[in-house]
């Protein structure tokens, strides 16, 4: 069997490990940037009533027309822009890669012949940009952020764009896993220098007041990608891409039929009609983010980085990240250990903002361990 696997599976795939999701049963779960709040019982009952009419024996609407209409209204999507739904942001990233990837294509000619079908992003950043590009056979260029505050190194980024000529550039706004929001002027410079598409990933838009959504159309190569996961609907696996219709029509060609299932379409449509509930939860998370940040900064040996997301990146004393992660887990608290994932994340832990009592438990355990 091993011989057959070695012969058929690409070497770069064999070298990978599958994406690991740790077991979280029985733990305070502060590792995955989820909304910790649940719906009130009255809303749950109304939702379940709405699901009674869903036809499980039928395929879903392939384009999710009712959901698209609700999304446009709830998220104030410009009426002249196209909208494409995905099974989470991950599928949208995959669709983008499949649309432009031309690895080893000797027939490529014409005006775009000099454009490499690679991906460029800023590191440390969302790992799926690189991984999905690799799946599609695309080169990846990661430009390091500034070491002191994780801001964009604009000269290095513009130089990398000029050299690599990437087909896709991803800019997370705010960035994961650092939590900071990049300078908008720097991002505009990148958009204007890009030879291909620039995708502004606004997964954490509920936790910041800045967005590029209203700037769509100002540049022909700008798209905005979002998800409903962070606002409290992570279990539905729904992402959406917004941009000029001509671009989305091309990307839609690689979308698998019926990619968003009937339960997700019905549930998301229902939830977005009650968006005020999730907006209130988002405001509560923002308040708790401030409280948690202040608590972390009171511990002198920790360095908490300002965040406009629903998590906080923390640098701990040298050599303590692994032991603190393990110690918190032993005390029933699961966070994300980023030590060893990127040189700029040495001794770093990422903490999702939880419920007030969960954050209090975290601080008590962390203080005890330190």
pLDDT tens digits, residue range 295-343? 999 999 999 999 999 999 999 999 999 999 999 999 999 999 999 999 9
The helix/strand/coil state of 307 is: coil
Report the mean per-residue pLDDT for the chain: 94
Give the model confidence (pLDDT) of 216-243 as tens digits: 999 999 999 999 999 999 999 999 999 9
> What CA–CA distances, in Å, run from 19 to 22, 131, 226?
10, 10, 21
pLDDT value at residue 107: 43
Token look-up 């032991």 returns 323
Contact 288, 353 (CB under 8 A): yes
Q: What is the pLDDT of residue 109?
A: 47
Q: Is the link from the previous residue into 55 a cis peptide, with omega within 30 of 0?
A: no
Count of CB atoms situated within 10 Å of the CB of 226: 26
Tokens representing 224 are 């905005």
CA–CA dist 133, 120 (Å, integer): 10
Query: Are 159 and 193 spatial neighbours (Cβ–Cβ below 8 Å)?
Result: no
Distances (CA, A) of 89 to 80, 118, 211: 22, 19, 17
> What is the token pair recorded at 258?
């019926």
Eight-class DSSP state of 230: I
Domain(s) labelled CATH 3.40.640.10 in the chain stretch across 58-274
pLDDT of residue 25: 79
Res 213: pLDDT: 97
Residues of the chain with pLDDT under 50: 106-114
CA dihedral 310, 315, 321, 324 (to 10 degrees): -70
pLDDT value of position 336: 97
Task: Tell me the longest C-alpha to C-alpha distance in the chain.
Answer: 64
The boundaries of every CATH 3.90.1150.10 domain in the chain are 2-41+276-369
- Alpha helices (H) in 76-183, listed in sequence order: 88-100, 127-135, 154-164
Rounded Cα–Cα distance for residues 322 and 319 (Å)? 7
What's the pLDDT score for residue 57?
A: 96
Given this structure, which CATH class describes domain 2-41+276-369?
A: alpha beta
pLDDT of residue 12: 80
Between the CA atoms of 313, 91, 267 and 78, what dihedral angle is there, to the nearest 10 degrees? 90
Q: What is the pLDDT of residue 7?
A: 79
State the pLDDT at residue 92: 98
Place of tokens 């009952």: 45
- Contact (Cβ atoms closer than 8 angstroms) between residue 77 and residue 202: no
Architecture of domain 58-274: 3-Layer(aba) Sandwich (3.40)
Q: Report CA torsion sign: 128, 133, 134, 140.
A: negative
Structure tokens, 269: 């449509």
Q: How far apart are CA 198 and CA 211, in angstroms?
A: 14
Q: Which two tokens stand for residue 229?
A: 């996961």
Supply φ then ψ for residue 355, to 5 degrees: -65, 160
Is 199:128 a contact under the CB 8 Å cutoff?
no
Paired tokens of 43: 């809303």
């Amino acid at each position: 069997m091993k011989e057959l696997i070695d012969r058929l599976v690409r070497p770069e795939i064999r070298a990978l490990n599958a994406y690991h999701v740790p077991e979280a049963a029985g733990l305070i779960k502060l590792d995955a940037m989820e909304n910790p709040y649940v719906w009130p019982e009255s809303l749950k009952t109304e939702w379940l009533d709405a699901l009674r009419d869903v036809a499980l024996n039928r395929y879903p609407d392939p384009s999710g027309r009712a959901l698209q209409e609700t999304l446009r209204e709830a998220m104030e999507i410009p009426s002249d822009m196209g909208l494409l739904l995905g099974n989470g942001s991950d599928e949208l990233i995959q669709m983008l890669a499949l649309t432009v990837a031309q690895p080893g294509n000797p027939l490529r000619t014409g005006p775009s012949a000099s454009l490499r079908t690679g991906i460029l992003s800023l590191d440390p950043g969302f790992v799926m940009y690189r991984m999905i590009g690799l799946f599609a056979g695309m080169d990846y260029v990661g430009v390091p952020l500034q070491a002191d505050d994780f801001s964009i190194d604009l000269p290095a980024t513009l130089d990398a764009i000029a050299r690599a000529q990437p087909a896709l550039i991803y800019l997370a706004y705010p960035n994961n896993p650092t939590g900071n929001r990049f300078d908008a002027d720097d991002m505009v410079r990148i958009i204007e220098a890009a030879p291909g598409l620039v995708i502004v990933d606004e997964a954490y838009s509920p936790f910041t007041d800045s967005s590029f959504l209203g700037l769509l159309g100002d540049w022909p190569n700008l798209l905005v990608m979002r998800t409903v996961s962070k606002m409290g609907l992570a279990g539905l696996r729904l992402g959406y891409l917004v941009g000029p219709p001509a671009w989305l029509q091309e990307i839609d060609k690689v979308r698998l039929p019926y990619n968003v299932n009937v339960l997700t379409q019905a549930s998301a449509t229902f939830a977005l009609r009650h968006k005020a509930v999730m907006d209130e939860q988002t405001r509560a998370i923002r308040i708790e983010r401030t409280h948690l940040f202040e608590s972390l900064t009171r511990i002198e040996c920790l360095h908490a980085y300002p965040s406009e997301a629903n998590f906080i990146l923390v640098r701990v004393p040298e050599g303590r990240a692994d032991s603190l992660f393990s110690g918190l887990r032993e005390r029933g608290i699961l966070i994300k250990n980023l030590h060893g994932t990127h040189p700029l994340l040495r001794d770093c832990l990422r903490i999702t903002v939880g419920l007030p009592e969960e954050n209090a438990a975290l601080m008590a355990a962390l203080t005890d361990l330190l």
